[in-house]
């Protein structure tokens, strides 16, 4: 990273972690890191396989990856 376009380089990471933080991490009190990791595995499994994504036009990321859904391309 050169520092000039840092926001654009981090956007995908932020789009991944922002919902995880607000919907999972900040809502619960974890006793240890192992418990946090287990909860994040459950959250990301739900996020990838059950939750429809607006950015994908409705299908889940797993459906897009498997070729079952179609991505709407930006004009």
Tens of pLDDT, residues 36-46:
999 999 999 98
pTM of the model as a whole: 0.65
Where does the pLDDT of residue 21 fall: very low under 50, low under 70, confident under 90, or very high at 90 and above?
very high
In order, the DSSP letters of 30-73 are -SSHHHHHHHHHHHHHHHHHTS--GGGTSS-HHHHHTTSS-PPP
pLDDT value for 51: 81
Distance, CA of 65 to CA of 42 (rounded, Å): 19
pLDDT digits (tens, 9 = 90+) for 27-74: 999 999 999 999 999 999 988 887 877 766 777 777 777 776 555 555
At 27 the pLDDT is 94
């Amino acid at each position: 990273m050169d520092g000039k376009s840092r926001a654009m380089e981090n956007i995908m990471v932020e789009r991944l972690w922002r919902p995880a933080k607000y919907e999972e991490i900040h809502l619960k009190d974890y006793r240890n890191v192992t418990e946090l990791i287990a909860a994040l595995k459950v959250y990301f499994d739900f996020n990838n396989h059950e939750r429809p994504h607006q950015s994908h036009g409705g299908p889940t990321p797993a459906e897009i990856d498997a070729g079952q859904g179609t991505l709407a391309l930006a004009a």
